[in-house]
Amino acid sequence: MSKTIIVSNRLPISLQHKNGKFEFKPSAGGLATGLGSIYKEGENIWIGWPGNDVEDEGQRKEVVDELIKLKMAPVFLTKKDVELYYEGFSNETIWPAFHYFTQHINYEDEYWDAYWNVNKKFCDAILAKASDDDTIWVHDYQLLLLPMMLREKLPNATIAFFQHIPFPSYEIMRMLPWRKQMLEGMVGADLIGFHTYDDMRHFLSAVGRILGLSNESGFIQADNRLINVDAFPMGIDYEKFEKAALSPKTQNFVKKFKQTLGDQKLLITIDRLDYSKGIPNRIKVFEKLLDENPQYRGKVSMIMVVVPSRDQVQSYQTLKEEIDTLVGHINSKFSTLNWVPIHYFYRSFPFNELSAFYSMSDIALVTPLRDGMNLVCKEFVASKTDKKGVLILSEMAGASKELVDAILVNPNDQEGVTSAIVEALSMDEEEQEMRISSMQASLKKYDIFQWVKVFMDRLQFVKEKQADLESKALDKKIIAQMKKAFNVAKKPLLLLDYDGTLVGFKGKPQDAFPDEELKVLVAKLAQRCQTVIISGRDKETLGAWFEGQKIDMIAEHGVWLKRKDQKEDWILYAEVDDSWKEDIRKVMEYYVLRTPGALIEEKHHSLVWHFRKVESGLGDLRMRELFSHLKYMARGHNLQVLEGNKVLEIKRPDINKGRAATAMMKGEDYDFIMALGDDWTDEDTFKAMPKNAYTIRVGYTYTQANYNIKNPQAVRELLKSLLE
Ligand code: GDG
């Protein structure tokens, strides 16, 4: 039976070695709880690093045996691995880059090598457990290469990836020397998830520009696989925070803490130690608030929890020193004998004390400079069971896309954040209730369990969509059937599109000339059957490329025809009225003038606006503009505007490959017909074919054809096999 494997850098446990024995403490984090419904079932398992360096074989065995009871399996990492892969590439290269802290990026080949090696270690550990029909869900930026490593070994497995941190703009991504490998690693997955739409569109843009893979509404067609990229904003275990806030244990802490603090307005801030969280900015804002509003001195305090994190990394140590200095400065400046402005804790708290902080605070100040999602703000809202409280939230946190009823601020705008605190301190209770209730409703609905469900459902949907497309994939049995039919046929016909079918796409159209292998193949086919090249190319190019071959050629989608025995020049195969061209060309020229790299190609029945060489993005933008411009003109002239591969073509609708193919077959009695093509112009051919014809579309995409085939290489193999 197939199983599901969860993979993350860290296993959801903490491992402590005490008195010669390991103690395993499962984590109560939101993700671990949400995924509990998965990895604890049946044969399912969670694979990851247990967080300790266990070198001794005997101890390793002990860890393996204990973990399996918790439905987990370890990937053991050495001290060096942790230093170079985790602290190094993950936290000194990817983390700063993806959070837009380019000044902190460390570009070290040694880090990259370790990153690759550890991803490989994870891959091997998974392969020891996984089979080709399993589902593997990989988490986060430490394991970007893993999806493709797994795909290469388990081509049919269902592989998903979710990134918990932001995905940066292409401008940042392009700075990384390993950008291509990182993206290639990710597209090994069937489903790639991010917290927000912005992350998703940045990823799609980088994949388009760096890997050359385009997408349609988040679906990427990569070679022979459909990949979906989507946004899945992660939720929290809402009920847990709501229940905890109401529990006597939490309320006892609230009572105790409040007695110590006295009657004060409380601001809470909770973060891991990280420069992305904007902690120094926040302290400076609090100083500004007290400087400018003396009435708040003695009346408002900030509870600041900073959870120790990555303190082996230099930039984190520097940050810690900066925070210590700033807190020391403000406390020494404003403290009185019975009031301290900032209660600063550099440690983590047990859950109920955390819950008490949320519950008793009037305001949560969540102002990261960049954050994938940020769960703290969600936990604060869920803990406000009396609906009193105000959330001040940074626009740079993924959560701001959802929690629009918070006071949203730009964390770099000190004036703005200070005013937000003043606004929060004076907000009437009715408004507080209105805002908190609305946010609670949303958080309750989209909690962590719903997040897991939506993600897994989507993964299944993508697999179904893939299967749907692959159901038309040519398999050995069908190929054998075609071969047999071809061999006994007395009058076979082959209709072959050229670009994208017999040859792959090249940067410059003139570089896609037929290579020797193709010429020989076409010559052999021509000896066995009527072979027709049916293309959108101009007649001069086709004529030159296939000179001397015993084949028929249809150029410009059916405008021109040249029969194999024809001595004279090409004949006009369709009446062409080109009186419309002048008006349209003027419009197209205007768009050429505004768009460096664009050009117009004139064919007998059409005008084509090419933008392959235009700056990526600008070309699409101009094409859309031109499209809407031409749409109206086309109606008047009874023309058709069609979007192709980096081209926009305007043409007479009655001239197409289908019409040409029909004319060619008229009165003939073919007993075997095969038509091959790769784009929408070939769909006209497919539609025009009799029922018993073999119609085949190159690429796994929806089609009128009976079958799909992977790529031009596979087309050549198929044609060769007909001749065997
Ligand atoms: C990454 C992304 C994304 C904090 N202090 C204590 C404590 N915590 C818990 C909180 C919260 C968690 O830690 C912090 O989660 P965040 O989401 O705020 O931030 P990151 O750790 O940076 O997480 C982030 C997240 O992944 C999920 O995808 O939202 O953007 O950076 O749950 O409650 N828990 C306890 N004591 C503490 O003192 N018990």
Q: What is the pLDDT of residues 311-357, one digit of tens each?
A: 778 888 999 999 999 999 999 999 999 999 999 999 999 999 999 99
- 538 annotated active-site: no
CA neighbor of 164 nearest in space, from 424, 548, 384, 448: 448
Dist. CA 372 → ligand 1 center (Å): 11
Residue pair 399/373 in contact by the 8 Å Cβ criterion: yes
Find the helix packing angle between 248-261 and 351-360, rounded to 10°. Answer: 60
Quick count: other Cβ atoms within 10 Å of Cβ 428?
A: 8
Distance CA 436, CA 545 (A): 70
In sign, the C-alpha dihedral spanning 489, 492, 498, 501 is negative
Averaged pLDDT, 621-636: 92
Dist. CA 29 → ligand 1 center (Å): 8
Residue pair 531/551 in contact by the 8 Å Cβ criterion: yes
Atom of ligand 1 nearest to the CA of 307: 5
> Is pLDDT larger for residue 15 or for residue 719?
719
Dist. CA 170 → ligand 1 center (Å): 27
Nearest-CA residue for ligand 1 atom 36 is 349
The ligand 1 site (C-beta within 6 Å) comprises 30, 164-165, 234, 270, 272, 305, 307, 348-349, 351, 354, 371-376, 379
Q: 3-state DSSP call for residue 127? A: helix
**How does strand 647-651 pair with strand 640-643?**
antiparallel
Residue 28 in this model has a pLDDT that exceeds 80: no
The rounded percent of the chain whose pLDDT value lies above 90 is 81
Nearest-CA residue for ligand 1 atom 28 is 164
Atom of ligand 1 nearest to the CA of 236: 32
Quick count: other Cβ atoms within 10 Å of Cβ 369?
A: 21
Q: 3-state DSSP call for residue 651? A: strand
The best mutation among 33, 376, 378, 446 to test binding of ligand 1, ranked by most ligand atoms within 8 Å of the C-beta, falls on 376
Atom of ligand 1 nearest to the CA of 351: 39
The best mutation among 274, 373, 391 to test binding of ligand 1, ranked by most ligand atoms within 8 Å of the C-beta, falls on 373
Nearest-5° Cα angle at 117, 113 to 121: 170
Dump pLDDT digits (tens) for 124-166: 999 999 999 999 999 999 999 999 999 999 999 999 999 999 9
Residue 626 in this model has a pLDDT that exceeds 80: yes
Q: What is the pTM of this model?
A: 0.86
Arithmetic mean of pLDDT over the chain: 94
CA-based end-to-end distance of the chain: 40
The best mutation among 274, 319, 375, 443 to test binding of ligand 1, ranked by most ligand atoms within 8 Å of the C-beta, falls on 375
Q: What does DSSP assign to residue 615? A: P
The best mutation among 31, 161, 194, 270 to test binding of ligand 1, ranked by most ligand atoms within 8 Å of the C-beta, falls on 270
H or E stretch including 242? Answer: helix 238-246
Q: Which one is catalytic: 81, 140, 447, 497?
A: 497
Dist. CA 379 → ligand 1 center (Å): 10
Atom of ligand 1 nearest to the CA of 379: 33
Residue pair 362/391 in contact by the 8 Å Cβ criterion: no
Quick count: other Cβ atoms within 10 Å of Cβ 210?
A: 17
Question: What pLDDT does residue 645 have?
Answer: 78
Question: What pLDDT does residue 434 have?
Answer: 98
Dist. CA 115 → ligand 1 center (Å): 24
Q: 3-state DSSP call for residue 50? A: coil
Averaged pLDDT, 16-24: 83
Phi-psi category of residue 387: left, alpha or beta, with phi > 0 → left and psi -120 to 50 → alpha: left
Distance CA 438, CA 451 (A): 19
Dist. CA 422 → ligand 1 center (Å): 27
Distance CA 43, CA 521 (A): 51
Residue pair 139/83 in contact by the 8 Å Cβ criterion: no
Dist. CA 375 → ligand 1 center (Å): 6
pLDDT winner (highest mean) among 301-305, 501-505, 567-571: 301-305
Nearest-CA residue for ligand 1 atom 32 is 375
Bridge partners, residue 18, by sequence:
21
The rounded percent of the chain whose pLDDT value lies above 70 is 100
Return the CA Rg of the chain: 32
Question: How far apart, in Å, are the Cα atoms of 353 and each of 117, 248, 262?
Answer: 41, 12, 18
Nearest-CA residue for ligand 1 atom 27 is 164
Residue 270 CB contacts under 8 Å (≥ 6 apart), including other chains: 305, 307, 354, 357, 376
Nearest-CA residue for ligand 1 atom 9 is 376
Dist. CA 374 → ligand 1 center (Å): 7
Quick count: other Cβ atoms within 10 Å of Cβ 87?
A: 17
Nearest-CA residue for ligand 1 atom 23 is 374
Dist. CA 373 → ligand 1 center (Å): 10
Distance CA 175, CA 650 (A): 39
Distance CA 149, CA 161 (A): 13
Nearest-CA residue for ligand 1 atom 38 is 348
Atom of ligand 1 nearest to the CA of 375: 17
CA atoms within 13 A on the CB side of 353: 10
Q: What does DSSP assign to residue 600? A: E
CA neighbor of 132 nearest in space, from 162, 160, 157: 157
Dump pLDDT digits (tens) for 410-460: 999 999 999 999 999 999 999 999 999 999 999 999 999 999 999 999 999
The best mutation among 374, 380, 396, 447 to test binding of ligand 1, ranked by most ligand atoms within 8 Å of the C-beta, falls on 374
Residue pair 190/459 in contact by the 8 Å Cβ criterion: yes
